[in-house]
Amino acid sequence: TFFNFLLMTKLMIHENNKVNAKQQDFLHQIVDYVLENGDIEPQDLYDSEPFKHQEYTDIFINTEPLYDFINLLHSSVNVINA
């Protein structure tokens, strides 16, 4: 199920040695947001809590992987809802 996919995603984030603690926390917030709201799009980083007051560009110097992660989650939601 999609819920299991999100739980596995959180586990993979935790075990990934290429992201620091702040990045892990932010990625977990994204997964939690999807669990609560059913979807996420890049615009949500500007418009929605808990993201709109965080400087995610300071957390992720290279934001491309962050947007790729969000787009992966969004695409997964669309496949499940289709």
Question: Residues 35-77: pLDDT tens digits?
Answer: 899 999 999 999 999 999 999 999 988 888 889 889 988 988 8
C-alpha–C-alpha distance, residues 48 and 9, integer Å:
21
> What pLDDT does residue 29 have?
94
**Over the stretch 24-33, which tens digit does the pLDDT of each residue have?**
889 889 989 9
pTM: 0.82
Indicate whether 7 pLDDT > 90: no
**What pLDDT does residue 68 have?**
87
Position 69 scores a pLDDT of 87
d(Cα 37, Cα 20) in Å, to the nearest integer? 26
The CA-CA-CA angle for residues 58, 43, 77, to 5°, reads 110
